[in-house]
Amino acid sequence: MRTQLQLVGFLIYQKLSEYLNKYKLFHLNTQLLDI
């Protein structure tokens, strides 16, 4: 059970980091367009 939770947590962490990276890129692009 504990290993399952760790796996799920790892997957969620991966998805979150992926989403954050996309958001950062999008934010940088919008900032560049504003200039």
Residue 14 has pLDDT above 60, yes or no: yes
Cβ-based neighbours of 9, under 8 Å, separated by 6 or more? none
3-state secondary structure of 20: helix
Query: Could you tell me the end-to-end alpha-carbon distance of the chain, in angstroms, rounded to an integer?
Result: 51
Average pLDDT, the chain: 88
Percent of the chain with pLDDT over 70: 91
Task: Place 28 in a pLDDT band, splitting at 50, 70 and 90.
Answer: confident
Residue 31 has pLDDT above 90, yes or no: no
Question: How far apart are alpha carbons 4 and 12 in whole angstroms?
Answer: 12
Residue 7 has pLDDT above 80, yes or no: yes
CB-neighbour burial class of residue 2 (10 A; exposed 0-12, middle 13-18, buried 19+): exposed
Which alpha helices (H) appear in 1-35, and where do they start and end?
Answer: 2-34
pTM of the model: 0.60
